[in-house]
Amino acid sequence: MLSKKRQKKYLTKKEKQWLLQLHVFGQSGDPEAIHQLRLNIKKVKAFVQMMKACSDKRIVKDFVPLKKMFRQAGKIRDAGNSLKLLKQFEVSFAEYSERQERRQKEAEVVFNERSEEYKKKGKKAGRRLQADLHAVRSRCIKDWYASRLIKISVLVTASGELLHEARKRIKELLYVEKLLPPALAQEIGLDKDYLDRLQDAIGDWHDMADIVETYAGREGADSQAMVDEFGRREAKVRRLAGDFYLKAHLT
């Protein structure tokens, strides 16, 4: 059983953390604050997905006020990641770099202008979520994990955005697992190390997808080096994803 008290403690902690990072980013513009803000909201979102299946579908609507902040923070994060990759590979795609820098700055301006709105709506979401909490039976949580693992085992054989979707769902399982009572987590028996390595490999692959799609085939050793690296990252995902359903469980 996942108690209401345990859920409330978890949501309260996540809200305090994203509120802190919202303040830190407003003061310093530190990209790590945006990463941590998004991470804590992702954990709340994962919790909501599990509760949707096991408790009350209204809880999905409770999460809605957090979406705009999450998406705008994502625009900042995505542009920053693209710029970081270009620097890592010492690639000089001036037009693309300038566009990403512009997107990042514009997204930061919008985010900061709306920070008070995000704060108010986020707190509203927190109140609504806490009001709709219910104790959840262990059987339903185990069924949710089994269903998710089957869906992921199909998604990891795909490519493009479907493969990226697999990563999101893997991370949901890992986030929710940390909320569960230890005895229940042990019964579910996830191989967390394996799942974390797989989601990390998919993330490394996806980070390069947009740049490679835009510049694949262009002349120059630097652009070819990125294409080659992209291929290596995809191959690593395929190796890890083989026999996913069996590997995802501890033996």
Domain locations along the chain: 1-136, 138-251
pLDDT level of residue 181 (50, 70, 90 thresholds): very high
CA distance 179 to 6: 8
Q: In which residue are the tokens 């902690």 written?
A: 13
How far are the Cα atoms of 9, 42, 46, 131, 162 from residue 4, in angstroms, in the given order?
Answer: 9, 20, 16, 10, 34
- pTM metric for this prediction: 0.87
CA distance 30 to 7: 30
Q: What is the pLDDT of residues 141-163, one digit of tens each?
A: 999 999 999 999 999 998 888 99
Q: What is the pLDDT of residues 29-75, one digit of tens each?
A: 899 999 999 999 999 999 999 998 887 677 888 898 899 999 999 99
Whether the CB-CB separation of 109 and 26 falls below 8 Å is answered with no
Helix (H, G, I), strand (E, B) or coil at 53: helix
More confident call, 25 vs 225: 25
Q: b/e for 45-72, b at 16 or more Cβ within 10 A?
A: bbbbbbbeebbeeebeebbebbeebbeb
Looking at residue 215, its pLDDT comes to 65
Looking at residue 221, its pLDDT comes to 42
Torsion of CA 53, 57, 61, 64, to 10 degrees: 0
pLDDT level of residue 90 (50, 70, 90 thresholds): low
Helix (H, G, I), strand (E, B) or coil at 25: helix
Give yes or no for residue 220 having a pLDDT over 50.
Answer: no
Find the range with the poorest average confidence among 31-45, 116-130, 174-188, 217-231: 217-231
Looking at residue 222, its pLDDT comes to 52
CA distance 16 to 119: 11
Residue 196 phi, psi dihedral angles, 5° rounding: -70, -40
Q: What is the DSSP letter of 29?
A: -
pLDDT level of residue 124 (50, 70, 90 thresholds): very high
Looking at residue 218, its pLDDT comes to 55
CA distance 74 to 31: 11
Mean pLDDT along residues 198-202: 95
Find the range with the poorest average confidence among 51-60, 121-130, 186-195: 51-60
Whether the CB-CB separation of 188 and 202 falls below 8 Å is answered with no
The amino acid sitting at 43 is: K
Looking at every residue in the chain, the average pLDDT score rounds to 88
